[in-house]
Structure 1
Amino acid sequence: MLYGLWQDSTMVVKYTDVDYYVFTDAAKYITEGESPYLRATYRYTPILAWLLTPNIYVSTLFGKTLFILSDVTVGFLVYKILHLRHCQHTTSILCAQLWWYNPLPITVSSRGNAESLIAVLVLGTLYCLLKRGRWYQATAAVLYATSVHMKIYPVTYALPIYLMLGWHYCKQKQWLPFRLHRWIQYDIGLNRARVMFVAIAVVSFTALTTICYMLYGNQFLEETYFYHVTRRDIRHNFSPYFLMLYLTAEEQGSFFLGLVVFIPQVALLLLVAFRYCDDLPFCCFLQTFIFVTFNKVCTSQYFLWYLSLLPLVIPQLRLTIRDAVAMVTLWFAGQGLWLLPAFYLEFKGVNSFIWLWTSGLLFLAINVWIAYKLITNFTHKPICWQGQMVGLPRKDLLTLDEIISIAFHKVTGKRKVTHRRTGGKLKTKKS
């Protein structure tokens, strides 16, 4: 943040994100009793502008400080969730540090982007859902409703959360053969947990939306929600659909074509929700990864949506070092190949649309391969209402959690207490 002050004052290229100036201007309008939507390109809930009014009264650095503190909170929630799922303490700390020291979220938050606020709401929802008690469930519903109000994409978690709340109440500790009555009762039927969560979430979302609508009218709905549904970004866009939408922008039926591209996205989201709802952190991560990859608009800041969930998945991955390095290298290389023609198009005026579109297709293929590797090398670890683990299958390769446990024992020689679930009962063993 301090470096950003220096760069903003000495260099032509500014460190602070242009969106941060938009947030600050919108907050200024609020302090003057006006609508935040008087600021052109402010397309967010007015709650964000309300939160940043101290930018006007206190300091222009208040918002950046808030985003950085939210970034730190995300790492803390990562640790709490992994600890709740009986990961080793060392593993939980390491995964939290993977977020804390990740240069991408550090840069995004310090530049003044608000994505860390959404990450706190999403991870807070997951943490409360994994805890025991009605108060935690009620808190999860409020946090979830707030996250959907702030950004649309968490709405994709509604189905897996609903399904998970039914799975938790199943008395069996193993997968049962498909039966219609069981599917109706546990997968789609109502129970107390589902009714409570849905009711609180709907009331909370409705209350927030109604208050904002009463204050700012249809402009609030248009800028906060409708714009993002109908948006077509044809320039700064990783999406493989951008060229098609660009070429058909002025033709009849272009709006319908924009809706058709949602079909593969929705189909994959439904498939993942039903398949992995019993492991909610992985399900939400995979859904977010698919949502961003197949979305008709895809920008760099969207990557933070699933990167904030990735540390929750890492302890259950059985990847070789070669595969892990290949995935990271290809992911960054795919972005680099896209950014080069984007630079020539934006700053040099070179017609590089075909090159840009081809790079987007390659980046899509890389992300599909990464998703395949993550799914095939993922250790399925269902969760239950008390936050316990059941049904952890054993394979030849070790998970990160097991590798760290063995290394800790070898290096320190200390006796560690490990937990293993056998036959639905948690057994404690000293090694």
Structure 2
Amino acid sequence: MGCMFSLVTNHGVPSFQTIVVVSVALRVALIVYSEWHDAHSVVKYTDIDYRVFSDATTFLLHPSYDNHARGRFGHLVNLGDPYTRATYRYTPLLALLLAPNEWVHPSFGKYLFAACDILNGLIIHHLLVSVMLPRLPDQKNRYRAAALLTAAHLLNPLIFTISTRGSSESILASLVLATLYAALEDRWDLAALGLGVATHWKVYPVIYGFSCVAALSQGRSLLNLRAVRFTIISAGTFFALGLICYLIWGKTFLDEAYLYHLHRLDHRHNFSPYFYMTYLTYPSNHGIYDPIPLWRVLLRSPLVSFVPQMALSVGSGLLFGKSNDLPFTWFLQTALFVLFNKVCTSQYFLWYLILLPLVIPHLVLTRNQAIVYISVWFGTQALWLSEAYRLEFLGDDVFLGLWARSLIYVLGNGWVLAGLMTAYARRPVIDNT
């Protein structure tokens, strides 16, 4: 058996402190550059989502007659409605968190997202040193390996580009990693609290609850005191935050932050092969009632993607969920969730890539196997992107070809996940005392 990378023999790895300093400087430079670039170029560096966040914050902080919190207790707070900004479909807490965009500097949110990137690197490094790599006999090699793996996160172009362009994904990543850290430290009440907050922020982390319950059951019945306590705390936190937001901002909060994602029909091309079915069955806008055949209703139903997606992500959590296997289990659950989601873009890959540095030390792969898996992961995306370019920029009618490449993407990524499952070597329970 061979290890995926010869981590511990690499004596040329910079210190972790150096990696952090370079990572901070890189992000600050990109944010400063983004301001210059956006002022001088028609094609903006800043993501459109950041404008949405910033506008929502402006509406929240400047209430008016037509813009005010519409919940039952909304009159008790002097706040506007962030959902006045069309396409803002996030928790109001995000708009509130970006208030310094108005008070301090318009790029405050970017610096916050970049800071969360750095925080995520610190959590990953700590978990690698204290939990994932304790079996390495040489402490220096352990720190070298941890620094190299953390650099794979902090210096990943996809990660630092997305955060400096103004995507808020790094905040959710911080919540997920903090929850995982608490679980691995056997602080399950804190983990339950973190999971509740993460699920309020974006619903998908709910899948981790199933692997946590399985880990707490320790091979016994899922209905045990520890698992029930965890469920009550995490669900209670989620519903408490939701209730507060509902009482302040009303039904609009529920519709935009949660319900919209259940019934949305996104016919735009994305990695998911479901886009083509949605495109073919998308309702017309002729203003004339047109009875929809049952087969079109079924194809358009969210259940088409929801059932296999949840069956695989929840099932893998229950099957592999053990306290010493949570990093790999969460990685597997997230990758399956993204792979079978009805909408899938490159940004969603971050959801499982943040967990990859914690998984790599326990993958038993030859160098050739590692090269093949990496090539297939990148290759299927490149194959899809080459056809998407023809559709998006050249206007060619390549919908069928793009759909076929979406299927190749699913098959290729599924094959890689199956290989990683085979290559995973279970981590023995470590006594940290």
With the length of structure 2 as denominator, give the TM-score of the two structures: 0.81
The answer on whether the counterparts of 2:163 and 2:170 sit within 8 Å (CA) in structure 1 is yes
Aligned partners of 2:126 and 2:229: how far apart in 1? 24
Aligned partners of 1:156 and 1:247: how far apart in 2? 30
Aligned partner letter, 1:115:
E
2:183 to 114, 122, 129: 129
1:114 to 168, 172, 178: 168
Aligned partners of 1:60 and 1:82: how far apart in 2? 35
Q: Give 3-state SS (helix, strand or coil) of 1:153's partner.
A: coil
Counterpart of 1:187 in structure 2 is: 221
Offset, 1:252: 4.4
Offset, 1:203: 1.9
Q: Is structure 2 residue 55 aligned with structure 1 residue 25?
A: yes
Q: Is structure 2 residue 251 aligned with structure 1 residue 224?
A: no
Counterpart of 1:331 in structure 2 is: 377
Counterpart of 2:340 in structure 1 is: 294
Moved more, 145-154 or 72-81: 72-81
Encode CA deviations 1:8-27: one digit per residue, 9 max, x unaligned. 12222111000000000000
Aligned partners of 2:93 and 2:383: how far apart in 1? 37
Q: CA RMSD in A?
A: 1.7
Aligned partner letter, 2:167:
N
| C-alpha distance 333-10 of structure 1, shift in aligned 2 (>3 A) | farther
Aligned partners of 1:5 and 1:252: how far apart in 2? 50
| C-alpha distance 347-61 of structure 1, shift in aligned 2 (>3 A) | same
With the length of structure 1 as denominator, give the TM-score of the two structures: 0.81
Superposition pairs of residues 206-285 of structure 1, within 5 angstroms: 206-250=239-283, 251-253=292-294, 254=296, 256-257=298-299, 258=301, 259-278=303-322, 279-285=325-331
Q: Give 3-state SS (helix, strand or coil) of 2:221's partner.
A: helix
Counterpart of 2:199 in structure 1 is: 148
Aligned residues: 366
Encode CA deviations 1:91-120: one digit per residue, 9 max, x unaligned. 222211110111110000000001111111
Q: Percent identity?
A: 44
Aligned partners of 1:365 and 1:388: how far apart in 2? 39
Offset, 1:204: 1.2
Runs of 4+ in structure 1 over 3 Å off: 251-257
Counterpart of 1:354 in structure 2 is: 400
The answer on whether the counterparts of 1:232 and 1:297 sit within 8 Å (CA) in structure 2 is no
Aligned partner letter, 1:74:
N
Gaps of 5+ in 1: 168-182, 390-425, 427-431
Aligned partners of 2:297 and 2:213: how far apart in 1? 31
Aligned partners of 1:140 and 1:86: how far apart in 2? 18
Counterpart of 1:373 in structure 2 is: 419
The answer on whether the counterparts of 2:269 and 2:276 sit within 8 Å (CA) in structure 1 is no
| C-alpha distance 74-376 of structure 1, shift in aligned 2 (>3 A) | same
Counterpart of 2:11 in structure 1 is: none
Encode CA deviations 1:14-54: one digit per residue, 9 max, x unaligned. 11000000000000001102200010110101010000111
| C-alpha distance 271-138 of structure 1, shift in aligned 2 (>3 A) | closer
Offset, 1:256: 4.1
Aligned partners of 2:92 and 2:85: how far apart in 1? 12
Encode CA deviations 1:379-410: one digit per residue, 9 max, x unaligned. 11254xxx549xxxxxxxxxxxxxxxxxxxxx
Offset, 1:375: 0.7
Q: Is structure 2 residue 192 aligned with structure 1 residue 158?
A: no
Gaps of 5+ in 2: 1-30, 64-79, 134-141, 284-291
The answer on whether the counterparts of 2:271 and 2:345 sit within 8 Å (CA) in structure 1 is yes
Encode CA deviations 1:339-363: one digit per residue, 9 max, x unaligned. 2232332233221101211111111
Offset, 1:228: 1.2
Moved more, 245-254 or 276-285: 245-254
| C-alpha distance 289-236 of structure 1, shift in aligned 2 (>3 A) | same
Aligned partners of 2:124 and 2:221: how far apart in 1? 28
